[in-house]
Amino acid sequence: IYLSNVQTIGYSGLNNTFKNSNIIEAKISGTINGDSALYYVFSNNFNFKKVDFSGLTSMSGKNVCYNAFNGTALEYVSFPDLTMLSGENPLYCAFQNVLTLKTVIFPALTTISEDAFGNMLKGVERCTVVFPAALESTITSFSSYSSGFSGTNTKVVFNDMKLLPVTIPTGNKVWWNNL
């Protein structure tokens, strides 16, 4: 699935569109503006292993990714070009019950709304989340930070080094450097 140069997706625009399907990967780029735009869009795709967010620069709205990837087989997620997350809980429960998830990376993020990550990792264990160092004081003030974004044993890293792209064994591109 290739959702390229998305501009606006209406309220619940892709609600359950690819839920329980056999899709294994997707690319989402552009900007996403819309409440619950990706609501359950890829949930319960147990073979869904890769999402490419390169080219996605902003996401705004209430609960934009609510349960979008719930129950998928994602291991690594990178938002390499995402600079802005705004609205009420845009990543609320986005990766809920993704039991294979190990890393989520936001190397370019500069603008963020309060508690953008509420329950983002609900049901996820031992995941590392990486943010630019410049956001440390902002993110550590969010109530969701103290709960590990509702994950268990969540590790949060603030890295002020330039993040470099590398390819991991599964073929996914992530942004990683000296963590």
pLDDT in tens, 105-128: 999 999 998 879 989 999 999 999
Give residue 15's pLDDT: 60
CB 32 within 8 A of CB 59: yes
> In Å, how far from its chain's centre is CA 102?
12
Strands of the 128-132 sheet, one edge to the other: 76-78, 103-105, 128-132, 155-159
In 3D, which of 110, 171, 154 has the Cα closest to residue 136? Answer: 110
pLDDT in tens, 62-93: 998 999 999 999 999 999 999 999 999 999 99
Instruction: For 37-51, give the DSSP string.
Output: TTTTTTTT-TT--EE
Give residue 179's pLDDT: 38
Percent of the chain whose pLDDT exceeds 90: 53
- Look up the pTM and report it: 0.84
Residue 11 φ/ψ, nearest 5 degrees: -50, 120
132 Cβ contact partners less than 8 Å away, ≥ 6 residues apart: 106, 107, 108, 109, 110, 158, 159, 160
Give residue 3's pLDDT: 58
Give residue 174's pLDDT: 44
User: Strand pairing partners for 25?
Assistant: 50
Would the pLDDT of 37 be above 90? Answer: no
Would the pLDDT of 11 be above 80? Answer: no
pLDDT in tens, 131-177: 999 999 999 888 888 888 999 999 999 986 554 444 444 444 444 43
Give residue 39's pLDDT: 86
Residue 177 host element (H or E): none
Give residue 7's pLDDT: 56
CB 77 within 8 A of CB 51: yes
CB 68 within 8 A of CB 40: yes
